[in-house]
Amino acid sequence: MENIISSKVETLPPTYVIPMHERPLASVPIVKEIPVIDLGEEQTVVAQQLVKALEQYGFFQVTNHGVPENLMDKAMEVYEEFFNLPMEEKENYANVAKILYTSNRKNYNSKEHKYLKEILEHNSNIDGQDKRIWPSNPPIYRDVIGSYSSEVRKLSMIIFDLVSKGLGLEEGYFGKDHEQKMIVHHFPVCPGSSSTLGMDGHCDPNLITIYQQ
């Protein structure tokens, strides 16, 4: 059962208590404004805005992105329903399908402690073969997340092409052999939240990460 967490943690297990020297005790400066880019504007202008945002910040927010809002909401509902499944059922996805785990298997866990979260991660590529290991419960998971991942892929390709344009590169330069993963982080409600963390400092190794806000 070490790969899954109850949707609501009644008592914080000792393995999830983060040592004092690893807690972010110093105040973190808050950036009041980040680049907000309207993808519906003229492409040359948007391309320049994207490149500038990446050079100065490394991230940005987009509007008029084309992903239907009702589909975004439905995807979040389906994910929430998945994480609320009985522990026994989630255990199958953790130990058999191996698409559910408590922390990044590469570097987030130590022998002493873990970060308090569950992660659902699976490939979501164009050929659709990945769906064989996707959750079959909720029953609409594969249909909804399949549609959602397709829309997110379209958005990533739009961004890739615009960045290529802004850098003076050929169209499709960043989209070659593009693979996609869907990753969902679930942070359960717990007591003693000041004693634990859901994630530590890290860098994403992929070309682009698209967050649903």
Residue at 202 is within a domain: no
Angle at which helices 43-56 and 141-167 pack, to 10 degrees?
A: 90
Q: How many CA atoms does the CB half-sphere of 46 hold within 13 Å? A: 19
Question: Checking phi first, is residue 91 left (phi over 0); if not, alpha (psi -120 to 50) or beta?
Answer: alpha
d(CA 196, CA 91): 23
SS (H, E, C) 116-151: CCEEEEEECCCCCHHHHHCCCCCCCHHHHHHHHHHH
pLDDT at 112 (0 to 100): 63
pLDDT at 183 over 50: yes
The CB density around residue 175, as the number of other CB atoms within 10 Å, is: 16
pLDDT at 43 (0 to 100): 96
Rg (CA), the chain: 19
Residue at 53 is within a domain: yes
Residue at 115 is within a domain: yes
Residue at 9 is within a domain: no
pLDDT at 30 (0 to 100): 75
Rounded mean pLDDT, 190-206:
79
Q: By residue range, what is the domain housing residue 84? A: 14-195
pLDDT at 38 (0 to 100): 98
pLDDT at 130 over 80: yes
Residue at 107 is within a domain: yes
Contact between residue 62 and residue 178 where contact means Cβ atoms under 8 Å apart: no
pLDDT band at 1 (very low <50, low <70, confident <90, very high): very low
Residue at 205 is within a domain: no
How many separate domains does the chain show? 1
Q: Tens digit of pLDDT for each residue in 34-80?
A: 999 999 999 999 999 999 999 999 999 999 999 999 999 999 999 99
Residue at 127 is within a domain: yes
CA distances from 173 to 41, 140, 160, 170, 205 (A): 22, 35, 8, 6, 18
Q: Tens digit of pLDDT for each residue in 102-122?
A: 864 444 445 567 788 899 999
Residue at 213 is within a domain: no
CATH of the domain at 87: 2.60.120.330
